[in-house]
Amino acid sequence: MTDPSYRGQLLVFTQPLVGNYGVPRRTRDAYGLLKHFESERIQCRGIVVGDYAAKYSHWNAVESLGAWCAREGVPAITGVDTRALVHILRGQGSTLGALGTQSAESADVEWADPNALNLVAQASTPRVRVFNEAGDVNIALVDCGVKNNIIRSLCELGARVTLVPWDHDLMGSAAQFDGIFVSNGPGAPTMCGATIAQLRRAFAAYRRPIFGICMGNQLMGLAAGLNAYKLRFGNRGHNQPAVDLTTRKCVITSQNHGYALDDSVMPPGWARYYVNANDGSNEGIRHLEKPFRSVQFHPEAKGGPLDTAYLFAEFVDSVRAAKAAGTAAVGADDEGASASAASASA
């Protein structure tokens, strides 16, 4: 519920009994991040549950699910046959919905399509923030709706994490970053024109590692020249199989996305990286020469699986290697071109 990727959506829980564990206390870790939540607030627009447990029982709980929703102004409904509802959603795909106390026929519903909104702009940080200031490499984390555990995972690997807004001028401050990480996020990737433009500039000029996950994969693909399309159902859950096309090994991954890249024809210099073993959809791309790659799944998923946690370590290791080698953030020719472009626009 606190994952920013769910922003603007109604969540339907298929687990019959919901709420029996309650809501944990807002404890923070060594980096100032909430330990048991993926962001500072509930991100979804509402929840639908089958059987709500009004009385909770857990050693770390401090309030009920209902009290938490009420305190944050998020509507919730119970007594719904959620499994029958999911059958409908599985039959017709992701569907606009509304919560109300009247019948659908008599209610005057003002439908709002979240895919028509720039949800990334809503979920992103409004200002630059720094975590783990003593880290030995400085990674720019482009916040498209980042989860706390992504920040935590990079910090635990020893990196200084500079969280920047979704439309931050990356190339204007490229020299201070040893690597760039593009996060997950909600909604349609095509709404993020500013991020795509920044990444396109980075692909042309930046010489250090770039890595993206989930929405980051889609934005990097769009910047590279691919198109994105909406999946009928989306790939969600903790058991999605993805095949690494460089090793042919299959990993079990955690996913939550409604869009995918069309990788039927790859742009020059780019290759498919991972593919979904169920539906054949794209699960990642990589550059054939430059240290740029991305995956559609979540290697850092708090609830697991941890099959691909090594990808974060590989990224941070590559950032350290580039720094140790003295790799310039921007090539000399690109610096000159950027300066000329800036003079022309001025």
What pLDDT, on the 0 to 100 scale, is given for residue 336?
39
Tell me if 150 sits within 8 A of 297, measured CB to CB: no
> What are the backbone angles phi and psi of residue 83, rounded to the nearest 5°?
-70, -35
What pLDDT, on the 0 to 100 scale, is given for residue 114?
87
Tell me if 140 sits within 8 A of 162, measured CB to CB: yes
What pLDDT, on the 0 to 100 scale, is given for residue 346?
30
SS3 273: strand
Given the residues 214, 257, 283, 287, select the one marked as catalytic.
214
SS3 219: helix
What pLDDT, on the 0 to 100 scale, is given for residue 342?
35
Q: Which of 35, 39, 17 is nearest to 25 (CA)?
A: 35
What pLDDT, on the 0 to 100 scale, is given for residue 16?
85
Positions in the chain short of pLDDT 70: 104, 332-346
Cα angle 56, 60, 63 (rounded to 5 degrees) comes to 45
Tell me if 306 sits within 8 A of 144, measured CB to CB: no
Given the residues 168, 257, 287, 298, select the one marked as catalytic.
298
Asked if 44 is an active-site residue, the reply is no
Report, in angstroms and rounded to the nearest whole number, the Rg of the chain calculated over CA atoms. Answer: 21
Asked if 257 is an active-site residue, the reply is no
What pLDDT, on the 0 to 100 scale, is given for residue 263?
97
What pLDDT, on the 0 to 100 scale, is given for residue 91?
85
DSSP 266: P
- Residue 173 CB-density burial (10 A; 0-12 exposed, 13-18 middle, 19+ buried): middle
What pLDDT, on the 0 to 100 scale, is given for residue 230?
93
The CA-to-CA distance between both ends of the chain, in Å, stands at 45
What pLDDT, on the 0 to 100 scale, is given for residue 171?
94
What pLDDT, on the 0 to 100 scale, is given for residue 280?
96
Residue at 183: amino acid letter:
S
Asked if 214 is an active-site residue, the reply is yes
pTM score of the predicted model:
0.93
Residue 315's H or E segment, with its range, is: helix 310-324
Q: Is the dihedral of CA 82, 80, 45, 29 positive or negative?
A: negative
